[in-house]
Amino acid sequence: MATAEELRERYRIERDKRLRSDGNDQYVEPTGRYAHFVDDIWTAPVPRDPCTDEIEVAIIGAGFAGLVTGARLKQAGVDDVRLIDGAGDVGGVWYWNRYPGAMCDTAAMIYLPLLEETGHMPSQKYTMAPEIFEHAQRIATTFGLYEHALFSTSVTSLEWDESASRWIIHTDRGDALRARFVTMGTGPLHRPKLPGVPGIETFEGHAFHTSRWDYDHTGGSPTDGRLVGLADRRVGIIGTGATAVQCIPHLARSAGELFVLQRTPSSIDVRNNRPIDPEWFATLRPGWQDEWRMNFTVLQTGGFVDTDLVQDGWTDISQRIRDRIVAGIQSGEIEDVGPEAFRYAYEASDDEKMEEIRARVESIVADPVTAEALKPWYRQLCKRPCFHDDYLQAFNLPNVHLVDTDGRGVERIDATGVWVAGEHIDLDCLIFASGFEVGTDHSRRAGFETIGRDGQTLTERWADGMQSLHGIHVRGFPNLFILGPTQGANLISNITHNLVEAAATIATTIAHGRTLGAQEIEVTPEAEAAWVELIDTHPGTIFGDTECTPGYYNGEGREATRRDRRNSSGYPLGAVAYFEYIDAWRSSGEFAGLEFRP
Ligand code: NDP
């Protein structure tokens, strides 16, 4: 095993190869030849007249954020709610992403919201995308959220009407809706982005982004990964992130020749998926899902509990850190459990984990050159960790070619294929597994602008980074509630935990405002400033580390500015402390920091 210093040096060399001055700007929005990449290929819009009516709560975004908000509002007695989404149905990322092999890397028992309320038992520990999409539909049906919903309807602007204390929502269907309250769960992972490789628009073969998988071209379906249409095709895929890792095994089995165009290898830990036993599931006591979610969060963020209920790769590294600290205390090696001890335990555990991950590559991939190129040289949480039991095996198939670009990426694209290291690879089909808009301005990510009091836009208000109370309320934007991890728990390993808590907070706040007969609910400038100050003065997570290889977790490796930190940090005391804090905040009935105006 390499020494810690040798590993550090190797990590630095690999990171430096990948640093680039254009950071996030290396990516481009789909335009021109690729403009249709943002279109909905799953549902044709149903013709309808524009709506101009008034509703109590407009819920923008019908993914899990919107669905849990709708459910909690209904439970709180607020019935007049309306989902609005550009997609043809609920589901958010699980509506768009139907690529073969799509599944959730977070265990279904904690990822799928409202399992107890809907009475659903997940079929497996980690569920496939079609089952997740179905669960989204189940939530909508159970809570009556299809009623009044507007699908295939993209919001084009959201504007506060001061004279009426209402939001006006304009859409691409000609609607001008009025809403007393608006919740916004527009997520960062739904607008596809493309690599800004020179010549990208000149490719004349077939091309698509993974979030709009073209089954007409490839054959197969979201539930049938046999892509018979690719049998005699030369297929290239750009990207080796979490999405690519899941679809590559299917492409490998189906394509005539598959060229995996790799810039940085992902870390691939074991998946070890298995069915859930209905008899065992029936023994769970009411309230189990909250307990499971919190158990996972405590363990994943380095806390102590007696039993690890989920037991998977996300909690593994924390388990090792804890064990090391306990062993260090017992042996007398660690006297003070402070940041130093944590840093030591973290680095040693991570080195051990990553050596195992690299050894796994070697044990599975037969060709030594390919195996070497598939080894990740960075800390596990620098990039999104991946878990798969078929991905590495795919590189043993004779039709699969790893084209490792040694951190440089695809050089150029032309009419007939791609160029890497001066060599041309002919392709019939090019698949972009190049990810989504993360870290760009609010309007570019959401796809519309939000105009608050005095005509100020959210983009202007956040020019120097996000400013909020709890990640939910923004001064100057009354009656608007935002759902997302940032400036809240910031729990990346189980996104829906952030959303379930935010939905409970928002529903309780709106219900309270209605009881008071309040026309406006708004955060005070002092409360917002104090929260932002907390974020500004205690930022810094291992995730945002510039020692890490570049990626969207660390702003593509750029030195983080205050704006970056505000846009990516959570509550400084961590996710568990945030969930406890926000639970106490909403249960107290005081709603400290908010103004309720008649
Ligand atoms: P990512 O942004 O994670 O990956 C984009 C990929 O494109 C990277 O491998 C990147 O390389 C590569 N790339 C970019 N430009 C070039 C280039 N010029 N040449 C070659 N390669 C290039 O997107 P994904 O769609 O994979 O994942 C996005 C997120 O979606 C995940 O991080 C995860 O949060 C979520 N997801 C969640 C799943 C779940 O289980 N819940 C499943 C799938 C996705 P480089 O690494 O060098 O930047």
Question: What digits encode the pLDDT tens for the residues 266-295?
Answer: 999 999 999 999 999 999 999 999 999 999
Q: Which residues contact 455 (CB under 8 A, 6 or more apart)?
A: none
Residue 235: φ, ψ to 5°: -110, 135
| Any atom of ligand 1 within 6 Å of the Cβ of 382 | no
- Specify the residue with its C-alpha closest to ligand 1, atom 3: 241
Ligand 1 mutation pick, 268, 384, 496, max ligand atoms within 8 A of CB:
384
Using only C-alpha atoms, what is the Rg of the chain? 24
Indicate left, alpha or beta for 505 from its phi (over 0: left) and psi (-120 to 50: alpha): alpha
List the chain domain ranges: 22-48+192-266+383-435, 54-191+438-597, 268-382
Q: Is 482 helix (H, G, I), strand (E, B) or coil?
A: strand
User: Distance between alpha carbon 530 and the CA centroid of its chain, in Å?
Assistant: 27
Range name among 169-178, 233-242, 488-497, 530-539 with the lowest pLDDT average: 530-539
Q: What is the pLDDT of residues 241-264, one digit of tens each?
A: 999 999 999 999 999 999 999 999
Residue 335 has pLDDT above 90, yes or no: no
Query: What is the SS3 assignment for 263-274?
Result: CCCCCEECCCCC
Ligand 1 pocket residue status of 98, Cβ below 6 Å: no
- Spell out the CATH class of 54-191+438-597: alpha beta
CA dist 227 and 166 (Å) reads: 50
Is the beta carbon of 242 within 6 A of some atom in ligand 1? yes
Q: Which of 135, 240, 412 is the best mutation target for the ligand 1 pocket, counting ligand atoms within 8 Å of the beta carbon and taking the most? A: 240
Atom of ligand 1 minimally distant from the CA of 241? 26
**Which atom in ligand 1 lies closest to the alpha carbon of residue 126?**
40
Q: If you write DSSP's letter for every residue of 528-589 in order, what string do you get?
A: HHHHHHHHHHS---STT-TTSPSSGGGGGGPPP-HHHHHHH---TT-HHHHHHHHHHHHHTS
Q: How many A from CA of 240 to the centre of ligand 1? A: 6
Tokens of 84: 């609005």
Q: Is the CB of 189 under 6 A from ligand 1?
A: yes
pLDDT band at 446 (very low <50, low <70, confident <90, very high): confident
Strand partners, 425: 418
Asked whether the CA dihedral 248, 250, 255, 257 is positive or negative, the reply is positive
Q: With bands split at pLDDT 50, 70 and 90, how would you rate the model's confidence at 543?
A: very low
pLDDT classification of 148: cutoffs 50, 70, 90: very high
193 lines ligand 1 (CB under 6 A): no
Helix or strand (DSSP H, E) at 491: none
Provide the token pair at 23: 């950071």
DSSP state of 260: E
Looking at residue 598, its pLDDT comes to 93
The minimum-distance atom of ligand 1 relative to the CA of 18 is 47
Same fold, 22-48+192-266+383-435 and 54-191+438-597: yes
Q: Do the Cβ atoms of 132 and 107 come closer than 8 Å? A: no
Residue 497 near residue 511 (C-beta atoms within 8 A): no
Q: Do the beta carbons of residue 410 and residue 214 sit within 8 Å?
A: no
Domain 22-48+192-266+383-435: CATH architecture, name and number where available: 3-Layer(bba) Sandwich (3.50)
Secondary structure letter of residue 124 according to DSSP: B
What is the distance in angstroms between the CA of the first residue and the CA of the last residue of the chain? 67
